[in-house]
Amino acid sequence: MEEIVVQGYYNAKVISKAVEIWRDLRKGGAPIDGKDLLIGATAIAKELPLWTCNI
């Protein structure tokens, strides 16, 4: 399953967005977990809605 997700969702646009987010958050002193970073970057890059129960 992981192989399908990686091949289908993590393209150059997603990785580029993840790097941009990571860089901005690191500058601000608020880095996030890598998994959350990729989830958020994927949603933004692919213009998908993202719902979370995180508080």
Instruction: Indicate whether 50 belongs to any domain.
Output: no
Task: List the domain range (segments joined by +) for residue 29.
Answer: 2-45
| Rounded CA separation 16/54 (Å) | 24
Give residue 1's pLDDT band: very low, low, confident or very high (50, 70, 90).
very low
Whether this model's pTM surpasses 0.75: no
Give 13-52 pLDDT, tens digit per residue. Answer: 999 999 999 999 999 888 888 888 998 999 999 898 988 8
Q: In this structure, is residue 51 part of a structural domain?
A: no
In a domain, residue 17? The reply is yes
Specify the pLDDT at position 11.
83
8 has a pLDDT exceeding 90: no
For residue 52, being part of any structural domain is answered with no
Q: Print the SS3 string covering 4-52.
A: HHHHHHCCHHHHHHHHHHHHHHHHCCCCCCHHHHHHHHHHHHCCCCCCC
**In the chain, how many domains are there?**
1
Q: Which two tokens stand for residue 33?
A: 């977990």
Q: How far apart are alpha carbons 30 and 6 in whole angstroms?
A: 26
Burial class (CB in 10 A: 0-12, 13-18, 19+), 3: exposed
